[in-house]
Homo-oligomer: A and B are copies of this chain.
Amino acid sequence: MTAVTIQPRPGIHLLADECCTTLAREPLTTSQAAELAHILKALADPTRLRLISMVAAQEGGEACVCDLTDPLGLTQPTISHHLKVLVDAGIFARDKRGKWAYYALVPGALDALSAVLSTAA
């Protein structure tokens, strides 16, 4: 690890620091590749993809853990684990209100990733 900057959330870091990097334009540096891989790893799981699509399709664009556990047929700790991975990657935001924790897409996060993958100029 060399000369680390302040670094807010990991996902935001990608969006800020490498917003203009496209995968198919120039060779990625080691750290660029590591950051991108971190975000993609968070997406590269069937359960987490379904979580994202379910939350995004929800009224108001947010859902609590209890809404997500039953439809996926997994235990509550497992769902909580996946949600944490998505939050750590900067894809989901967590908002605790009362007894419930609501998760929602971070605006622009998926679109930023989409732009990185695009080969269009």
Chain A residues with a Cβ under 8 A of chain B: 23-28, 30, 33-34, 36-37, 40-41, 43-47, 49-50, 52-54, 56-57, 105, 110-111, 113-115, 117-120
Contact = CB atoms under 8 A, between A and B. Distances in A.
14 contacts: A23-B53, A24-B53, A26-B53, A33-B47, A34-B46, A37-B43, A40-B44, A41-B44, A43-B44, A43-B117, A56-B119, A105-B119, A111-B118, A114-B117
A45 B57 CA distance: 29
Contact of A119 (B23, B30, B41, B110): B110
Number of copies: 2
Nearest to A108: B119
Contacts of A57: 24-27
Contact of A113 (B37, B41, B117): B117
A27 B44 contact: no
